[in-house]
A and B are shown apart, each in its own frame.
Chain A
């Protein structure tokens, strides 16, 4: 842990990333699909498609992947995607989970990076393996068992980051709805700290509580929310990484908003 500011830095802004790339002082991870990555990417970035990570996200496997990307305990890492930061968040969270402390999200998406006319190429960098230690941060992960018991506590807030209609139709009892889109601003994956603090404050989501986030299936949208909370200074957060899909498969209780036909208001 190098300093306090480091621990609350959640995103890396475009200008800093550009100079860090020039200095080659950083590892950039592109989590898009391999085909997209091969076409073009931010110079010197390595590719870790989310699906590759998810095919086996045990600590040992993750460690291997991290080593192969040339990341050791000291390497600053920046992650980006093209899906409003959600996939990048899931990867960043996983790095944090195995004990990597210096990982941030690019403040914007790759599409926006390109539409600003910023540098990109199709070169695949040569990477030599590094050795990362394993120092599992279990306190940022929520399992279904943990969630089930934590839910009964007054000082725990559970946040559902799926879209509103999905939430209304079915959610974990006691969860509040905060669709992932709410977390972004115009061209940033996360709104400014001031805006984020106000949003959570209005909702009564405060630092006095432990906060658990979940979404539909693999902890991407809720991964973004995990970082949104941290960006607002709410660092007592956990990700229910297996999310609603697992909860339903385990046939745990769910509730719905009754007596209203909200789906018929949708124009989809």
Chain B
């Protein structure tokens, strides 16, 4: 070996356990793009192919794509962070984006470069295959699985095995529509009732011995029309997990609506058929699957436990003083794990965006501070380092400060979710992405992240009715549209209140339309009303919840009462009085709605 081939080996790096990639898919993609550009591939088949490989179209152009890299169960390793850091600089905009479904996305990628990204991802075992299109999308798992105090057991290995089973499986290559699995630790932390298949680990005593299994919810989902999932049965033993999954996917494949694209998620099938009928069908189908497949098909669950090893510290920083802001950050960004002395540390990002340098910094911080040597992505466009020893929290915070990753509020209402909106999405009507950032900045400025009454609430903003930001389950949710005064248009949002995604999952109730530039004042007004009317134990969430269930006895008894109070705030001024009102965030030209071809159903 020549000296130029030598590189310094850094601190111990844990390597990915599973290789999700197939490098030949890069060549195949490159060739297909060429054929498409030469007109030898028709528009529709190319789109299907592109989506199956994880590349979405981009707003108002066919030159660029968005590459959605799957992180099954949310797991991501230092080398993968480094690779994504490099890719975001090389092929994207110098930033990458954590999504709400544990994917990481590269936007504004030249279509002809997508295959180069695939090739590089393969070097670190990652793929974007079946991250879009009518396939089994990224299999999610709670970022707290394995460390949550309330979980029955760690469902991560089951999530990984399920992802492995369906990835590239011919059974799931052209479903009527996308299909989503979410695993969780406990019902409170998961998103199990808002998804096609949601799974909560359970343990039952059967014949005196402990049996692992799941509580399975089917047919939930968010979108233009949203539904809450139904529980299949009391308890599904782990041996039946795969059979149940196959049965559900098969039924959906057979009976799902392939014609009406707007109504073809499984939840519509469940709704049209009625839950009991659907439930029976699943149980019957499962019996068939079990009888015909049991010998060959097994879920390969790797339950060997991860090594937990506290990285050696080269320097002892225990004598250092506590940096400013540490207490606030500790309170709003960290959770104690069930393993004593260990914490999970959530990183506050703005609407999931992270720079190339920060991605590289995270790789180093994982090596230096996470005893499991990897990180987990979450449900709110974020990422967490777990197994951080309590004695390492101050040094970690100091390092986060240096990388601009030390903002507080990660586990509070401050973490506002915003879909891509007009930054890149073809269907967007408003710049929901920037609005989410603006709200978060305002909350941090007012130190609202420190307010205990607000921690369990959430704000989520979609740029059109399609719910990519999951606004329907937010305490305060918004979706974008256009408003009009005479000839002049302005960006406008429909606001809903009282959505939730915990054990009592429900959709919020429509309240009123709020112009983009009035969203922040309206949110602050709602908080003010809450403070005036709350009972001592109330949080914003519980207060709104009481109002929705007609059990509030103060002056504000209904969503309509809130609406009446807010109405004066949302009245449009004239264009002469307030020209800014008519501009969307991030824009200095007059607002108009403009959309291209949507690909959600493709």
- B432 CB to closest chain A CB (Å) equals 10
Residues of B within 8 A of A179 (CB): 89-91
A163 on the B face (CB < 8 A):
yes
Q: How far, in whole Å, are A115 and B108 apart by their CA atoms in the complex?
A: 34
Contacts A182-B113, A202-B30, A202-B112; is A262 near B3 (CB within 8 Å)? no
Q: How far, in whole Å, are A181 and B58 apart by their CA atoms in the complex?
A: 22
B585 on the A face (CB < 8 A):
yes
Q: How far, in whole Å, are A156 and B317 apart by their CA atoms in the complex?
A: 59
Contact with B along A231-268 (1 / 0, CB 8 A): 00000000000000000000000000111111111111
Contact with B along A182-202 (1 / 0, CB 8 A): 101011000000000011001
Contact assessment for A268 and B4 in the assembled complex, using a CB-CB cutoff below 8 Å: no
Contact assessment for B91 and A182 in the assembled complex, using a CB-CB cutoff below 8 Å: yes
- A15 CB to closest chain B CB (Å) equals 5
Stretch binding the partner chain, chosen from B43-51, B318-326, B419-427: B419-427
- B32 CB to closest chain A CB (Å) equals 11
B431 on the A face (CB < 8 A):
yes
Contact of B107 among A115, A116, A186, A265 (CB under 8 A): A265
Contacts A15-B2, A259-B59; is A265 near B37 (CB within 8 Å)? no
Residues of B within 8 A of A35 (CB): none
Contact assessment for A260 and B4 in the assembled complex, using a CB-CB cutoff below 8 Å: no
A104 on the B face (CB < 8 A):
no
Q: How far, in whole Å, are A89 and B349 apart by their CA atoms in the complex?
A: 37
Contact assessment for A115 and B8 in the assembled complex, using a CB-CB cutoff below 8 Å: yes
Contacts A115-B8, A259-B60; is A264 near B354 (CB within 8 Å)? no
- B402 CB to closest chain A CB (Å) equals 16
- A179 CB to closest chain B CB (Å) equals 7
Stretch binding the partner chain, chosen from B92-100, B134-142, B209-217, B512-520: B92-100
Contact assessment for B586 and A118 in the assembled complex, using a CB-CB cutoff below 8 Å: no
- A262 CB to closest chain B CB (Å) equals 6
Interface residues of B in 485-538 (CB under 8 A from A): none
Contact of B353 among A182, A186, A266 (CB under 8 A): A266
Interface residues of A in 65-99 (CB under 8 A from B): none
Contact assessment for A261 and B433 in the assembled complex, using a CB-CB cutoff below 8 Å: yes
Contact of A265 among B93, B112, B594 (CB under 8 A): B93
B151 on the A face (CB < 8 A):
no
A168 on the B face (CB < 8 A):
yes
Q: How far, in whole Å, are A182 and B94 apart by their CA atoms in the complex?
A: 11
Q: How far, in whole Å, are A118 and B4 apart by their CA atoms in the complex?
A: 10
Interface residues of A in 97-115 (CB under 8 A from B): 107-108, 115
Residues of B within 8 A of A176 (CB): 110
Contact of A259 among B34, B355, B586, B594 (CB under 8 A): B594
Contact with B along A141-176 (1 / 0, CB 8 A): 000000000000000000000011100100000001
Interface residues of B in 73-115 (CB under 8 A from A): 86, 89-95, 97, 107-108, 110, 112-113, 115
Q: How far, in whole Å, are A184 and B354 apart by their CA atoms in the complex?
A: 22
Q: Could you tell me the dominant secondary structure of chain B's interface residues?
A: mixed
Contact assessment for B89 and A181 in the assembled complex, using a CB-CB cutoff below 8 Å: yes
A127 on the B face (CB < 8 A):
no
Residues of A within 8 A of B93 (CB): 163-165, 262, 265-266
Contact assessment for B586 and A182 in the assembled complex, using a CB-CB cutoff below 8 Å: no
Contact assessment for B431 and A264 in the assembled complex, using a CB-CB cutoff below 8 Å: yes
Q: How far, in whole Å, are A219 and B349 apart by their CA atoms in the complex?
A: 35
- A109 CB to closest chain B CB (Å) equals 12
- A73 CB to closest chain B CB (Å) equals 29
Residues of B within 8 A of A116 (CB): 3-4, 6
Contact of B113 among A107, A108, A202, A265 (CB under 8 A): A202
Contact with A along B394-422 (1 / 0, CB 8 A): 00000000000000000000000000111
- B77 CB to closest chain A CB (Å) equals 17
Q: How far, in whole Å, are A115 and B8 apart by their CA atoms in the complex?
A: 8
A177 on the B face (CB < 8 A):
yes
Looking across the interface, which residue of chain A has its beta carbon closest to that of B115?
A202
Interface residues of A in 7-57 (CB under 8 A from B): 13-15, 18
Contact assessment for A107 and B110 in the assembled complex, using a CB-CB cutoff below 8 Å: no
Q: How far, in whole Å, are A108 and B58 apart by their CA atoms in the complex?
A: 35
Residues of B within 8 A of A177 (CB): 110
Residues of A within 8 A of B355 (CB): 266-268
B9 on the A face (CB < 8 A):
no
Residues of B within 8 A of A265 (CB): 93, 95, 97, 107-108, 353, 420, 423-424, 433
Contact assessment for A204 and B37 in the assembled complex, using a CB-CB cutoff below 8 Å: yes
Q: How far, in whole Å, are A258 and B422 apart by their CA atoms in the complex?
A: 11
- A93 CB to closest chain B CB (Å) equals 23
Contact assessment for A15 and B424 in the assembled complex, using a CB-CB cutoff below 8 Å: no
A164-B108, A176-B110, A261-B433 are known; give 19 further A-B pairs, CB within 8 A. A15-B2, A116-B4, A116-B6, A163-B94, A177-B110, A259-B594, A260-B423, A260-B424, A261-B421, A261-B422, A261-B584, A262-B423, A263-B423, A264-B437, A265-B107, A265-B353, A265-B433, A266-B93, A267-B354
Where the two chains meet, the residues of A that have a C-beta atom closer than 8 Å to any C-beta of B are 13-15, 18, 107-108, 115-116, 118, 163-165, 168, 176-177, 179, 181-182, 184, 186-187, 198-199, 202-204, 257-268
A-B CB contact pairs (8 Å), 9 listed: A13-B4, A15-B3, A18-B3, A182-B91, A258-B60, A261-B587, A262-B108, A267-B350, A267-B354
Nearest 3 pairs of A and B residues by beta carbon:
A267-B353, A14-B4, A264-B434
Where the two chains meet, the residues of B that have a C-beta atom closer than 8 Å to any C-beta of A are 2-4, 6-8, 30, 33-34, 37, 58-61, 86, 89-95, 97, 107-108, 110, 112-113, 115-116, 349-350, 353-355, 358, 420-424, 431, 433-434, 437, 584-587, 594
